Amino acid sequence: METFFQSESKFSLLLGSDVISPYFYLVLIAGLYLTFRMGFPQLRYLFLSLKILTGNMDFKGSKGQLVHSQAFFAGIGSSLLTGSIIGTALAVAYGGIGVIFWIWVITFFIMPLRLVSSTLAIKFRNQLPSGRYLAGPMYFIEKSLRAKWLAVAFSFAAILTVLSFGGVFPFLSLTFVAKEGLNFSGMSGPISISVILLFIVVGGIRRVGKTATVLAPLGILLFIFAYFTLFGSGLTPFFPYLKEIFVQAFSLQAIEGGGIFGILRTISVSSGVFFLSTETGLGKSAGVAGVVRTDYAAKQGLVSMLATFFEGFIMATLIGFVLYSYGAVNVESVLAFPERILENKDSIPSIMLFLAILSFGILSLAGWFYTGEQSAFYIFGEKFANFFRILFIGTILASAYLYVQNGETVFLFAIKFGYMMALITSIPLLVSLILLGKSANLELKKYISESGARYEIIKDIYLLVLTLLPKNLISKLFGYFSTLKLPRFMMIIILKAFAKAYKINLDEAELEIKEYASLNQFFTRALRAEARIIDSAENAVVSPTDSKITSFGSITESTIIQAKGIDYSVKELLGSEKYYKSFTNGKYITFYLSPQDYHRIHSPFFGQILGYYYEPGKLFPVNDLAVLNIRGLFPKNERLITFLQTEYGKIAVIKVGASNVGKIRVTYDNKIVTNNWIRFSKEHIYKDVSIMIDKGSELGRFEMGSTVILVFENDTIDLAPNIVLGEKIQYGTTVGQFKKKLIKLPIKP
């Protein structure tokens, strides 16, 4: 079997062991060193990385321009075309199907490379007065290694790499797809692609990030659908494919002709071309990661590590599976494989595949454009960055014109020059990552020790599944189920079982259990009149619910403690621009209602309802596991906030939605409806009516358990000394005493 490396075709002249092998060994040495230096973070923090990616550990108060998922998709989307697809094909052509095994092994060990580069990019980034962030390897090379000359040299090499490897190479690939796959003629395809690219990049990195969160998942879905539709009938059984990978991986003598050096040569060249194609060690992901909104640099480092995992373990395996199934395991068959797809190019699956490749390619161009822009700005400032923008667009269009006129020769030259520049650019960066591994490791330790991050495997799997589930839909369905009125004999059995499971005190309920027609009626049951005593002291503030107090204390400026090491912003929680400043440096109490508890909410004090703010959001559960692991949980979830004016100061009564909470309802306005199919943020002030409510009067209800948070103005209340963290409390019990009267009610809103 003749491999790509051994063949005498013109492709064999593009990349050889004399350049690829040194790159491969440098990547491997850097990966091995960082893996051991940082204690195998790819094993210890894999699920923590997934948690961060899903957004349940975001902190909106952090500085930056992108969220973790936007940076991830911008990075991985741009490496799928030239990396996972073309890179895998080149690797198999060089070394046969057994190279997939070595890609897996090496992927595992080099995952920390992106962790370190992205962490350092955030740690050493600069922020301009305009709010724009400047980041990339050149900044941490200069600041940490104190090697300005090396940073400048890296930036110049990076610009040439961007223009060739990141610009011309993917653009010509897209030109080929547009021409051969989608029947664009002449320059119509390149011009159309460049217009789309311009629309994305003129919006800056924010638009690149937002576009990536749409195009990357869409492209992946199109790719998966086209993959199984186009190739499904011809795919061999998967496990025999895996077996053949292992057999070929340890039979490389058959490929290279024997000898340990020959085997190493085959592994290094075939694997090396894959990792170079996936932009390993080139610093592009660091440039994008450097603008992420995060409170710890290592958080985005962990997310970036997942891109290597996805490319090496998932995409390489899928591409290799198709190539093996269709016998494309040497140079001739790999080069001929695109022709098989083009034979049915007008079929819907083929069109979907071409659209997926276009999506990946456009993201690739956008990501590299931003990387080059950062490098140009670093060297000579904004004027040179503007020149680079014009140069980038002009270069790719000129290359497309030459390709249309002269064909394959232009493409081959672009590949050769691009890969050579990528190799040159990788050397200073990989050496820098080795030297700066200690600094990145300190950032990782700082994040783990200070942030309250949890990375227990079982919990992380639970939280990952929880994040991916359609929580709002499930909650709506549960809410619908809870209102069903089943036959009486069935409902009594269900209600008794529920009451027994959660140890509900039925003696306090207003009605007999047989009188409740649905689960929802039972959840929102009223209590007997004498079941609770409301503290009647003039200045006593009472608990609004039967619940457990999960946190309380002082608000530090505008920050509330969610759990140890986890906090969130009052502004994020309240949403209202009108009132949130009133609660800076105030007090707060968080009440958690379990399914066991009475689900109605009562006013903590006599006052006038000024208005409300509704924020549609997610519906994460609010149990201990979620509170301890999901950063900023309460501001993420759906909320309905009632602003209550008392004679002693304002109270914000925040009702937080949660999983399986069908609705949040209030007594003072029946127009308010939560958890609808279509939901928008809304703030309403009652200007023409004074709505008064007595202490202990019903304010609202949850249709299942959740959380209530009381927030008080600064210097208006002393929290009761007898409230204890984690203990159950009944509504009407004193939780604090107001200090002095400030106004008389009612007031004119």
Backbone angles phi, psi at 347, to 5 degrees: -75, 155
Task: Name the 3-class secondary structure at 742.
Answer: coil
- Rounded to whole angstroms, the Cα distance separating 612 from 640 reads 7
Is the Cβ–Cβ distance between 709 and 590 less than 8 Å?
A: yes
- H helices then E strands: how many in the chain? 29, 19
Q: In what order do the strands lie in the sheet with 734-738?
A: 540-542, 734-738, 717-719
711: left (phi over 0), alpha (psi -120 to 50) or beta: beta
Which residues contact residue 561 at a Cβ distance below 8 angstroms, ignoring those fewer than 6 apart?
Answer: 551, 553, 567
Task: Name the 3-class secondary structure at 314.
Answer: helix
| Tokens of residue 296, six digits | 């710890």
- Rounded to whole angstroms, the Cα distance separating 382 from 166 reads 21
Residues annotated as part of the active site: 546, 602, 706
Buried b (16+ CB within 10 A) or exposed e, 415-442: bbbbbbbbbbbbebbbbbbbebbebbbe
- For residue 47, the 8-state DSSP code is H
For 64, 130, 374, the CA distances from 125, given in Å and listed in that order, are 10, 14, 11
Is the Cβ–Cβ distance between 404 and 389 less than 8 Å?
A: no
* Length of the chain, in residues: 749
- For residue 372, the 8-state DSSP code is H
Task: Name the 3-class secondary structure at 129.
Answer: coil
Q: Quick one: the chain helix, strand, coil %, rounded to 5? A: 55, 15, 30
Amino acid sitting at position 95 = G
Amino acid sitting at position 282 = L
Among 604, 75, 101, 82, smallest CA distance to 290 is for 75
| Tokens of residue 392, six digits | 């980038």
Q: Name 292's bridge partners.
A: 66
Is the Cβ–Cβ distance between 666 and 700 less than 8 Å?
A: yes
For 95, 182, 267, 579, the CA distances from 272, given in Å and listed in that order, are 11, 32, 8, 58
In order, the DSSP letters of 668-737 are S-TT---S-SS---EEEE--S--EEE-TT-EEEEESS--EEEEEE-TTSEEE-TT--TT-EE-TTSEEEE
Is the Cβ–Cβ distance between 30 and 434 less than 8 Å?
A: yes
Beta strands 664-666; 698-702: pairing state: antiparallel
Task: Show the DSSP H helices in 177-315 as ranges.
Answer: 188-201, 204-231, 238-249, 253-256, 260-277, 284-289, 297-309
Among 656, 648, 634, smallest CA distance to 571 is for 634
- Rounded to whole angstroms, the Cα distance separating 380 from 491 reads 75
**SS3 per residue for 263-286:** HHHHHHHHHHHHHHHCCCCCCHHH
